[in-house]
Amino acid sequence: MPTDLFRRIGQSLYGRQWHDTMADALGINITTIRRWARGDQVIPQFVPERLLMLFDERIEELANRALELEDATGLRRKARP
């Protein structure tokens, strides 16, 4: 997995200060996450699969919040093509 992609994914999932939160989510030491982000260590093959799982969890969480917002406000999202 390319280091720049790893960093972009971290920021997409957890914002600018993503290292700590990703470390917790992956059950990995923060120092290791920082080494991966700098390119000091090769990112293991299991990490992309775990990141995809984290994306799926986040997508589900966001979809549920959107439904709650629709229910609370009566607003509806526009249909996507």
Q: Is the pLDDT of residue 81 over 80?
A: no
pLDDT exceeds cutoff 70 at 5: yes
The domain in which residue 7 lies consists of 3-73
Give the pLDDT confidence score for residue 72 in this predicted structure. Answer: 97
Give the angle 70-22-27 at the CA atoms, nearest 5°. Answer: 120
- Single pTM value for the model: 0.85
Distant-in-sequence contacts of 9-16, Cβ < 8 A, 24+ apart: 9/51, 10/37, 13/51, 13/54, 13/55, 13/58
- Look at residue 50 and tell me if it is in a domain: yes
* The predicted structure's pLDDT at residue 78: 85
79 in a structural domain: no
Tell me if 80 is assigned to some domain. no
Q: Is residue 81 part of a domain?
A: no
Question: Does residue 32 lie in a domain region?
Answer: yes
Q: Is 43 a member of any domain?
A: yes
Q: 10 and 16 in contact (C-beta within 8 Å)?
A: no
What gap in Å lies between CA 12 and CA 34, rounded to an integer?
16
Mean pLDDT to the nearest integer, 44-71: 96
Whether 36 maps to a domain, the answer reads yes
Q: Is residue 31 part of a domain?
A: yes
Count: domains in the chain: 1
